Amino acid sequence: MDVLVVGAGLAGLHTARLLAQRQRHVMVVDRRRSLSTGIRTTGIFVRRTLDGFDLPDHLLGPGVRDVLLYPPSRRAPIRLTSDRDEYRVADMAAVYEHAHRAAESAGARVLLGVRFDRTSKGLARLVGAEPVKARFIVGADGARSRVASDLGLDVNRRWLVGAEIVHPVASGIATPAFHCVLDPRVAPGYLGWVIDDGRHAHVGIAGYPEAMRTGIRHLLDTFAVDAPGRTAATGPVERRGGPIPVGGVLRRLACPAGLLVGDAAGAVSPLTAGGLDPCLRMAELAASVADDYLRTGDERVLRRYDGNALRSRFRGRLLLRRLFAGIRSPAAAEAAIALLRGRAGRALATRILFGDGSFPDVTSRLADAAPIHM
Ligand SMILES: Cc1cc2nc3c(=O)[nH]c(=O)nc-3n(C[C@H](O)[C@H](O)[C@H](O)COP(=O)(O)OP(=O)(O)OC[C@H]3O[C@@H](n4cnc5c(N)ncnc54)[C@H](O)[C@@H]3O)c2cc1C
């Protein structure tokens, strides 16, 4: 086999598909038995991703153009309205199913209920399947990547944790909107959110785990009681959650035995915590580099997959993350929202929330290409 992809999240399935399309012999394993369970994302796709990747329309909810930013008091939110659809929330179970089928149609073999354990004596040891011999391993196994530590590549060390509840809502009652609450009592270092697109509401919080003393589940339930913009559930309530790496893209992402992609590579915007766009963007580069390396056997090819180059374009976002992390009291959060009310503040908030810069382009050649079909 040419490539073993560990992890059938968005990063793994997209990389597998692209490699299989290049006639590589690819196998994907995921420890989950079904890709519609254990979902760890809200599934908000930003305009830049919607413009750059041809996600099938039926997988996406209605466009969201309004963002409301609340201080801890929840009073007098700042409303930012775009003249374009800025966000669409995907049906993630359907997105994974679509990406699964696309990888298989391209020729990749996808095994669910199979966990990668380690490599030894040139074999990848799996739990739930026989060991396999692969020329190259793609670690797409999420924020706590086992592949990264097994191959001696960099591992994520700085985290937020996020949790949310999701439920259907009565359609057409509310205008689609994204409510963001800056309140370090419930979401220390990040935000509480409600996004309601008229079909589903997602109510969530994320923050630094060490500052969430009463536990994230308790904080989420407290936040959800009177979260702004929340409408009543009209169907089953699902819970989601997981770690979010926010230390920026890792430096050492590739070696002759394999490479990392998606959360495993730390490829999440440290500021917005968005990781879906980076999954798709990085998969393009990962597949191209892995294919070139397998074709030529030239280790210099792997230098194109350089975390340092990407990191340098993250400096501003890492700085803003530190400022965000520094908002530790309700008074500081009230003051931060007050700053955003001014002209310069609104311009900054608009740039962060509606801008194109959540994750750098990994290559200009790929970024300039026509929309990429998923
Ligand atoms: C609560 C929450 C909300 C979020 N909301 C958004 C959002 O709205 N928009 C956005 O852009 N980003 C969001 N993010 C971040 C985004 O979801 C992630 O960056 C993205 O989903 C990462 O995809 P991935 O494919 O790299 O990893 P994952 O989706 O985590 O996939 C990794 C896969 O690897 C499998 N795996 C792990 N270990 C092994 C092993 N040893 N063997 C086999 N399989 C293994 C797992 O089962 C999993 O399926 C959110 C994150 C959280 C936690």
pLDDT tens by residue, 36-64: 999 999 999 999 999 988 899 999 999 99
Q: Residue 4 gets which letter from DSSP?
A: E
Burial of 255 from C-beta contacts in 10 A (0-12 / 13-18 / 19+):
middle
The DSSP-derived string for 26-39 is EEEEES-S-TTSS-
pLDDT on residue 272: 84
Mutate to test the pocket of ligand 1, among 244, 259, 260, 280 (most ligand atoms within 8 A of CB): 244
Query: Which residues, 6 or more positions from 302, have their beta carbon under 8 angstroms from its beta carbon?
Result: 254, 255, 256, 259, 289, 293
Q: What share of the chain is helix, strand, coil (3-state, %, to 5)?
A: 35, 25, 40
What is the mean predicted confidence (pLDDT) over 115-122?
A: 94
Neighbours of 37 (CB within 10 A): 9
pLDDT on residue 364: 42
| Phi, psi of 192, deg, nearest 5 | -100, 150
Q: Is the pLDDT of residue 129 over 60?
A: yes
The residues lining ligand 1, judged by C-beta closer than 6 Å to any ligand atom, are: 6-12, 29-32, 40-44, 115-116, 140-142, 146, 162-164, 204, 240-242, 244, 262-264, 268, 273-277, 279
Q: Is residue 244 a contact partner of residue 213, using CB atoms and an 8 Å limit? A: no
Tens of pLDDT, residues 172-204:
767 899 999 999 999 999 999 999 999 999 999
Whose tokens are 């060490």? That residue is 210
Pairing of β 159-168 and β 200-207: antiparallel
What is the mean predicted confidence (pLDDT) over 211-232?
A: 94
Q: How many Å apart are CA 34 and CA 41, to the nearest integer? A: 16
Q: Which atom of ligand 1 is nearest to the CA of 244?
A: 53
Q: For the range 368-371, what are the long-range contacts, defined as Cβ-Cβ under 8 Å and sequence gap of 24 or more?
A: 371/51, 371/52, 371/53, 371/54
Q: Is the pLDDT of residue 369 over 70?
A: no
- What is the 78 CA–ligand 1 centroid distance (Å)? 31
pLDDT on residue 302: 95
pLDDT on residue 117: 98
| Phi, psi of 221, deg, nearest 5 | -65, -35
Q: What's the whole-number average pLDDT of the chain?
A: 92
- What is the 130 CA–ligand 1 centroid distance (Å)? 25
Tens of pLDDT, residues 290-342:
999 999 999 999 999 989 888 877 777 788 888 888 899 999 999 999 999 99
Tens of pLDDT, residues 94-109:
999 999 999 999 999 9
Q: Which atom of ligand 1 is nearest to the CA of 49?
A: 11
Whose tokens are 């696309």? That residue is 102
Q: Is the pLDDT of residue 373 over 60?
A: no
Query: Lowest-pLDDT range, 126-130, 184-188, 277-281, 332-336?
Result: 277-281
What is the mean predicted confidence (pLDDT) over 12-30?
A: 98
pTM of the model: 0.93
pLDDT on residue 227: 96
pLDDT on residue 319: 83
pLDDT on residue 73: 96
Q: Is the pLDDT of residue 210 over 70?
A: yes
What is the mean predicted confidence (pLDDT) over 135-149?
A: 98
Burial of 143 from C-beta contacts in 10 A (0-12 / 13-18 / 19+):
buried
